[in-house]
Amino acid sequence: MISIKFQLNDPDTTITNLRENRGKQGLSLEDVAGCGMTFNAVDVETANSDRSTICQIGIAHVVDGQISDRWSTLVNPEDEFDDFNISIHGITAKQVQRAPALLEVREELRQRLRGQVLVSHTSFDRSAFETAMDKYGLDQLQVYWLDSAKVVRRAWPEEFCQRGYGLKNVAHYIGYEFKHHDALEDAVAAAEITLTACREHNVDIEYWIRKIEEEIYLKKKRERQPQSQKSVARKGNPDGELAGEALLFTGELQMRRPEAADYAAFMGCDVKTGFSKKITILVSGIQTSPNIKSPSGKSEKHIKAEELISRGYDIKIISETDFLSLIANHQPPVPLQTLAAEKAQQK
């Protein structure tokens, strides 16, 4: 399997940056780099709605892409059982009466899981362990948690990007049958789903880890930036009505600037982020920046455009209202990567 290393454009980016604000994450990506196709998958069942009331644990150990060991145990949650939970997994208070409490299972978990990638389907199992460890005053598991539901959404986006990525549904999609809501069966199913995603894309576990880390980092970075500073550079649709135009925004817009850029690119404009003599359309919004010094209240981009117009350059300065009128009769833009794919198929 191929292990792909993502390279981010920001030279200051390190794996430590990628782990920013990861809560109770035990290990970093550096700690599990080179894991290849070796990992553990886990699932738990709980006695009631309190996630700390773990009553069953199942673990599947995968070595070099093959499930090499399966382990499960009942756990005495030292708490009451809810009839609803019993109806789901079938485990009762009587069945766990002589079972070990989590405190007694902790060393077994440490030996089986420590220092490795631990896959769970959705964050429920991670949350259950974290709250249960806090409940007993135990150290958190020293593992790198990987959510297989996040892997699924990226491995098969057309089927599971927004919804339907529950364990049973995804298992059915890949043709894997199992007894749902048995912790060991669910753990094995999560392992099989993750392995299938790796095989179909010819990648390993580290690929998915890095891909998810990268997306989390970039999302946080975008959220930290003021809207006006976010990159809105777009390559124009060559079949759009305004193909060949170079468009630049200045000032605050009523609509989100990335959305406006998408519309402009869909209509054919190359959307720029900086002023140059190649600009042919300047969309001027409301000027609210404290950095504007001109008596007219116009932005530096606006003033430069007017200077070039006076020298014979063909530049149109339009308001956001004009821009909205321009795009009013057009459907929301098709993602440019989709257009590119369609173009490639036609060649």
Q: What is the pLDDT of residues 292-335, one digit of tens each?
A: 556 667 888 999 999 999 998 999 999 888 888 777 765 544 44
Q: What is the pLDDT of residues 79-114, one digit of tens each?
A: 999 999 999 999 999 999 999 999 999 999 999 999
Token reading at 61: 């150990």
pTM of the predicted model as reported, rounded to 2 decimal places: 0.62
Q: What is the pLDDT of residue 161?
A: 82
CA 296 vs. chain centroid, Å, equals 44
Whole-angstrom Cα distance, residue 213 to residue 209?
Answer: 6
Segment holding 60, helix H or strand E? strand 54-63
8 Å CB contact between 256 and 320: no
Q: What is the pLDDT of residue 295?
A: 66
Q: For the chain, percent helix, then strand, then coil, each to nearest 5?
A: 40, 15, 40
**Which amino acid would we find at residue 178?**
F
* 122 pLDDT more than 50: yes
Q: What is the pLDDT of residues 160-215, one digit of tens each?
A: 987 889 999 999 999 999 999 999 999 999 999 999 999 999 999 999 999 998 88
Which of 121, 149, 136 minimizes the C-alpha distance to 58?
121
Q: What is the pLDDT of residue 138?
A: 94
